[in-house]
Amino acid sequence: MIWLQHIIPQHWLSKLMFRFARIENTWIKNSFITWFVKSYQVDLSEAVRENVQNYQSFNDFFTRALKPSARKISSNNLVCPVDGTVSQLGNINNSTIVQAKNRDYTVSALLGNNHQAHQFDAGYFSTIYLSPKDYHRIHMPYDGRLISMDYIPGDLFSVNKTTTEGVNDLFARNERVVCYFETEFGLCAFVLVGAIFVGSMQTVWQGQITPPYKKKIQHFDYSNQHIQLKKGEEMGRFNMGSTVIMLMPSQVHKFNLKQAEVVRMGQSLL
């Protein structure tokens, strides 16, 4: 129920889940992981560790690594960064992004009024939702050099279909991490959106970003550090699931995707 999300202590509940997900008590973590696998029909045959008893905690299971053969990285120069479902995609017109039917939000709001937001005002976007059963590591969709990153504090509404269709400016309201990369396509923005029980995000270059939760935007400048990441390399992960939004600077390279399509990390987007 959407109205309930407006009144519950979103960050406090997410802190509780953060702690629960790291409990290493054998009976508790094994019981919960077993229940989760059965309830959400998780395919553990793809994981490096197929036995639930081999995980130290629920979060260790949730951020599990896959066997190298489980995902093939396309030879094309633009690939899907995650497993999930395409909730929206299309042109960014007049700096406006489609959230759901009759609900839009602006590039500037999503990016926390970053001075580079104007570069995507006539670009292209894709929003991909990661369900609980999905693989939750995030990989590079292209070769890129990391320029900067912004942590933007905010709410922690759910990002499921019902909430996306019912809460205005959802992705521009929720806590998020925005990564900027220089690529062969130009400057690209990659947004990790937090959600209820997903109050923890991390990147390979910065480590855990939340918690603790901050009240102000934090800017990280990497322009002089020469951090290069290759297509298909792990770039970060959600400690619990959520949504990623890809922003491209032009409408030349449109993704070969459809709304509601189920996607897998590594598949070609061109």
The Cα–Cα gap between 139 and 269 comes to 14
141 in any annotated domain: yes
270 in any annotated domain: no
Same domain? For 136 and 24 the reply is: no
Same domain? For 171 and 207 the reply is: yes
Q: Which of 57, 87, 126, 139 is catalytic?
A: 139
Same domain? For 141 and 211 the reply is: yes
Same domain? For 38 and 101 the reply is: no
- The verdict on whether 43 is a catalytic residue reads no
- The verdict on whether 87 is a catalytic residue reads no
pLDDT by residue for the chain (270 residues), tens only, comes to: 687 878 887 878 878 888 989 999 999 999 999 999 999 999 999 999 999 999 999 999 999 999 999 999 999 999 999 999 999 999 999 999 999 989 999 999 999 999 999 999 999 999 999 998 999 999 999 999 999 999 999 998 889 888 999 999 999 999 999 999 999 999 999 999 998 876 678 999 999 987 777 889 999 999 999 999 999 999 999 877 689 999 999 999 899 999 999 999 999 999
The tokens of 41 are what? 């029909």
Single out the residue in 38, 68, 98 at which a domain terminates.
68
Tell me the DSSP string of 93-141. Answer: BTTEEEEETTEEEEHHHHTTT-TTGGGGTT-EEEEEEPPTTS--EEE-S
**Residue 105 C-alpha from the chain's centroid:** 18
Same domain? For 14 and 101 the reply is: no
The pTM for the full model equals 0.94
The Cα–Cα gap between 115 and 251 comes to 20
The predicted structure's pLDDT at residue 2: 82
The predicted structure's pLDDT at residue 199: 60
Q: Say if CB 248 and CB 188 are below 8 A apart.
A: yes
Single out the residue in 18, 51, 68 at which a domain terminates.
68
Same domain? For 57 and 83 the reply is: no
Same domain? For 104 and 142 the reply is: yes
Single out the residue in 22, 49, 68 at which a domain terminates.
68
Same domain? For 60 and 31 the reply is: yes
Count how many domains the chain has. Answer: 2
The predicted structure's pLDDT at residue 198: 64
Same domain? For 83 and 58 the reply is: no
Q: Which of 11, 14, 57, 83 is catalytic?
A: 83
SS3 253: coil
148 in any annotated domain: yes
- The verdict on whether 83 is a catalytic residue reads yes
Write out the residue range of the structural domain in which residue 52 sits: 10-68
111 in any annotated domain: yes
237 in any annotated domain: yes
4 in any annotated domain: no
- Residue 209's contacts (CB-CB under 8 Å, 6 or more residues apart) are 151, 177, 201, 202, 203
Same domain? For 59 and 86 the reply is: no
87 in any annotated domain: yes
